[in-house]
């Protein structure tokens, strides 16, 4: 589909997003200033401003008055029920991350996996099985399936040093994710990998992630219940710092 019907501020946004997604612009790189966009793209400054402002709201770029506009460091983002990279999370706690890769094989999707990824039975996928360690203690079993078409270089990756999550977001930005959180007893294999005593439950996160408009990876993440918890911080729409700090009266905005 062509873009001839899109508003120009959206075309500008698309242009910049594409340059970020493609890697032409990396984190901390400078994005053209409003005035440069005015000249090179033949738009008015307000249009360029809207494009850049919305990209700021959406987390793609950061703007500093007087300096310029810069591509965000995606790694520094943090969200609600955050879509964590376990390695970053561990680093944030000042602990050491380790990782054993138990499996990295090419397979054919079947059953639950094919349904989760919304592909035909038999579609090529990579199956990864990793154990993540925090200061030497096993903290997560990552059982992940990735569409081979989406990440053809999976086989050659050293997931001991770059987590699958980090690798995948480096290929294409995360568009959407769906998570299900459960408490359940682990099976024998998971229990062994996590070195858990019998009877102890796991906190299980099942996560599907979208890119290019379709699900590309499905992960089951098992954590030992006694050593792991999920935290979330919720700020509702319009805590707007001002809900109780609001002295504006109708007909009386201050200039």
Partner DNA sequence: TCCGCCAAGTTGTATATACAGGCTAGTCCA
Partner DNA sequence: TGGACTAGCCTGTATATACAACTTGGCGGA
Q: Which does 66 bind (CB under 5 to 8 A by kind): a copy of itself, DNA, none?
A: DNA
- Residues 78-117 touching a copy of itself, rule: CB under 8 A, are 79-81, 83
Query: Could you give phi then psi for residue 221, rounded to 5 degrees?
Result: -115, 115
All residues at 6 or more sequence positions from 60 whose CB lies less than 8 Å from its CB, including other chains: 16, 17, 20, 71, 72
How open is the CA angle 103-104-106, to the nearest 5 degrees? Answer: 125
Check residue 65 for interaction with a copy of itself (CB under 8 A).
Answer: no
Answer for the pair 144, 168: CB distance below 8 angstroms, yes or no. no
Q: Which residue number, 10 or 107, has a Cβ lying nearer to DNA? A: 10
Which of residues 65 and 188 has its CB atom nearest to DNA in the complex? 65
Interacting positions 66-85 with DNA (CB under 7 A): 66-69
d(CA 123, CA 117): 10
The answer to whether 159 touches 128, Cβ cutoff 8 Å, is: yes
- The token pair at 214 is 């379709």
Nearest-CA neighbor of 141 among 182, 191, 209? 191
- What track of x and - describes contact with a copy of itself for positions 24 through 53 (by CB under 8 A)? ----------------xxxx--x-------
The single residue among 2, 4, 23, 64 that binds DNA, judged by CB under 7 A, is 64
Q: Which does 197 bind (CB under 5 to 8 A by kind): DNA, a copy of itself, none?
A: none
- Residue the block writes with tokens 């203690």: 137
Question: In the range 208-227, which residues lie near a copy of itself by CB under 8 A?
Answer: 212-213, 223, 225-226
In whole angstroms, the minimum distance from the beta carbon of 213 to DNA comes to 20
Name the nearest CA neighbour of 103 among 142, 136, 138, 139: 142
Q: Min. distance of Cβ 58 from DNA in angstroms?
A: 13
Instruction: Residue 188: name its binding partner from DNA, a copy of itself, none (Cβ under 5 to 8 Å by kind).
Output: none
Q: How far apart are CA 1 and CA 175, in angstroms?
A: 20
175 binds, among DNA, a copy of itself, none (CB under 5 to 8 A by kind): a copy of itself
Among positions 160-199, residues that touch a copy of itself (CB under 8 A) are 173-185, 199
> Residue 194 and residue 223: Cα distance in Å, rounded?
8
Footprint of DNA (CB under 7 A) = 7-10, 31, 33-36, 42-47, 49, 52-53, 56, 63-69, 255
């Amino acid at each position: 589909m062509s873009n001839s019907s899109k508003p120009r501020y959206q075309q500008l946004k698309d242009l910049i997003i594409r340059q970020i997604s493609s890697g032409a612009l990396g984190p901390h790189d400078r994005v053209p200033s409003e005035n440069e966009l005015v000249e090179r793209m033949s738009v008015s400054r307000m249009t360029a401003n809207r494009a850049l402002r919305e990209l700021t709201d959406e987390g793609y770029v950061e703007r500093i008055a007087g300096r310029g506009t810069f591509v965000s460091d995606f790694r520094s983002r943090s969200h609600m029920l955050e879509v964590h990279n376990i390695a970053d999370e561990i680093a944030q706690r000042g602990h050491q991350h380790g990782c054993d890769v138990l499996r990295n094989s090419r397979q054919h999707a079947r059953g639950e996996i094919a349904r989760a990824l919304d592909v035909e039975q038999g579609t090529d996928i990579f199956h990864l099985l990793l154990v993540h360690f925090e200061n030497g203690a096993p903290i997560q079993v990552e059982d992940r399936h990735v569409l081979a078409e989406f990440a053809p270089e999976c086989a050659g990756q050293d997931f001991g040093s770059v987590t699958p999550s980090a690798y995948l977001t480096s290929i294409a930005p995360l568009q959407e994710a769906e998570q299900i959180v459960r408490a359940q007893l682990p099976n024998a294999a998971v229990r062994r990998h996590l070195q858990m005593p019998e009877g102890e439950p796991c906190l299980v996160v099942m996560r599907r992630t979208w890119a290019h408009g379709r699900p590309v990876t499905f992960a089951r993440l098992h954590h030992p219940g006694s050593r792991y918890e999920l935290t979330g911080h919720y700020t509702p729409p319009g805590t707007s710092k001002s809900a109780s700090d609001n002295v504006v009266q109708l007909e009386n905005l201050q200039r």
